[in-house]
Chains A and B, each alone.
Chain A
Amino acid sequence: ETGVTQTPRHLVMGMTNKKSLKCEQHLGHNAMYWYKQSAKKPLELMFVYNFKEQTENNSVPSRFSPECPNSSHLFLHLHTLQPEDSALYLCASSAPGQGTDTQYFGPGTRLTVL
């Protein structure tokens, strides 16, 4: 596969469930991002990892827990979510160290919290 892949594409979960979103990039990039996209709102940056180290946590609630085991994989662990967390979660990657570089996005995971 090429580019940025995300699994699952769709996820429905109850508020007491624990689930994880997975992102994998095949671009040789060193930085990975999680964004939240809600209807008619700008993309919200959640987390940034650069060379596997978390460099940004944009005041995200602790019910969202990221994990970056290597530069190619990024996870978002979810637990005790709220209905307002329903959204499209997008993963992106880029190759920093070259100024402001282009971010490449995955197709997203559509999350519904019941």
Chain B
Amino acid sequence: AQSVTQPDIHITVSEGASLELRCNYSYGATPYLFWYVQSPGQGLQLLLKYFSGDTLVQGIKGFEAEFKRSQSSFNLRKPSVHWSDAAEYFCAVGADNDYKLSFGAGTTVTVRA
């Protein structure tokens, strides 16, 4: 079965600074990878996903993620953080033709002025 680890529970970043959130997965074949964001009191919104092809994936809100098979990682990045990016971020992994996703425990991002 697939699994996800998000090593950072909480990250604080200054507005305008860059952000990188780590995600490591465990799965024997080519994974399907997702990043979701959850604002307080809200559901999860899809930021981006990787199924195949170009390993650098562009998403909404200026986010991107890079799939690195050799490191079993799918880290999320944003060059310049805005105060509205304060939220919880979840990485998820799925298997081919399997509707189930495994989620990480999430990383909370705080943005300071």
Instruction: Tell me the A residues contacting B by CB distance below 8 Å.
Output: 4, 6, 31, 40-43, 45, 48, 50, 55-56, 90, 92, 94, 96, 99-108, 110
Contact = CB atoms under 8 A, between A and B. Distances in A.
Contacts of A92: 44
Nearest to B4: A42
Contact of A107 (B36, B43, B94, B97): B43
B54 to A, nearest CB: 17
A45 B100 contact: yes
Interface string B21-49: 00000000000101010000111111001
A104 B34 CA distance: 12
Contacts of B41: 107, 110
Contact of B99 (A4, A6, A50, A110): A50
Contacts of B106: 40, 42
Contacts of A96: 99
A92 B103 CA distance: 14
Contacts of A6: 43
Given A40-B105, A43-B90, A100 B42 contact: no
B43 A100 contact: no
A103 B45 CA distance: 9
B51 interface: yes
Given A45-B101, A90-B43, A107-B41, 11 more contacts: A40-B9, A40-B106, A42-B103, A48-B99, A48-B100, A99-B51, A100-B32, A100-B96, A105-B43, A105-B45, A106-B43
Contacts of A50: 99
A41 B9 CA distance: 11
